Amino acid sequence: MPEPCAYFRGQFMHPRDARIGIMTHAFHYGTGTFAGINANWDEEKQRFCLFRIKDHYRRQLGSCKMLNIHLPINEDEMADITVEAVRRTNFRQTVYCRPVAYKSSEFIGVKLHDLEDDWFVVATVLPPFATTGGLRCCTSSWTRVSDNQIPTHGKITGMYVNGALAKTEANLAGFDDGIMLTADGHVSEGAVTNTFVVLKGRLITPPPCDSILLGITRDTVMQLARNELGLETIERSLVRSDLYQAEEAFFTGTYAGVAPIVEIDNRPVGTGDVGPLTTRLKELYTEVAFGRNPKYSDWYTFLETQ
């Protein structure tokens, strides 16, 4: 029977059997890094495509440097273990992989040095990020953390309390998600996603200096816009009023894919329907994420099941 699979402390097992102690440093202080990797299931070809898996692991290893996490493993070994975990699930649907590197010492005390480190990965399935149609969003009252507070270019586990506060605030107010601004009032991110808008026909996204994560999906969409549509993405600061004037808007992320936004702060985005550029980029992204465009074969790691 299909079931989730974890690789933990050198062994493959069911996630319920993978345990950490209640004194574990990362549990108390958020001293870990993580990634999200899709193994997209292609029903026609009966195979998985683990999309840009080594790029995800290169970024995670970069995040580990920010927290003084030292792992005796490289991105190739991490990728091989993850592929095997997906294979062992026996799922025939898209599998979400969550690798975590963390301070594993059972130690109470705020520091990063002289602690043990460990890494695991869980392969499981998740419900869709959003229902069909577009998202209704609000600008959040919670300010996005800055890189001088917590490294925003790393996927640091403790930092995601910031996004959780924004997400819950939005949901309890009747919205699907929140868009966080920086302390300077610049548009930064959704709770777990990068943000794009179309203004005067131009595709625009916040720059790295506006406290964003340098998303793998963000980068994919920018490359597809340039290579397939001849459209360069402008990286510049956006303010709240830009959101209200946008002709189109969407989020990007591994879990989200390309997720259209049709309303912000009770104002329709453009006509209030999913825009043509968003629709096209969503189609292009789906094509490459499932390994169906040979031009981007360097991004694909296939797992055949036949």
- How is the chain split into domains, by residue range? 5-124, 135-289
The label of the residue with tokens 């996204």 reads 205
Backbone angles phi and psi of 254, in degrees to 5: -60, -50
Average pLDDT over residues 205-212: 98
Query: What's the chain's average pLDDT?
Result: 97
The label of the residue with tokens 């029903």 reads 43
The answer to whether domain 5-124 has CATH 3.30.470.10 is yes
CA proximity to 35, closest of 50, 53, 52, 56? 56
So what CATH class is 135-289?
alpha beta
> How do strand 135-139 and strand 257-264 relate by DSSP bridges?
parallel
pLDDT bin (cut points 50, 70, 90) of residue 129 is confident
Kindly report, residue by residue over 144-191, the tens digit of the pLDDT: 999 999 999 999 999 999 999 999 999 999 999 999 999 999 999 999
pTM score: 0.96
- Round to whole Å and give the CA distance between 97 and 5: 10
CA-atom Rg of the chain in angstroms:
19
Evaluate whether 150 touches 185 at the Cβ level (below 8 Å): no
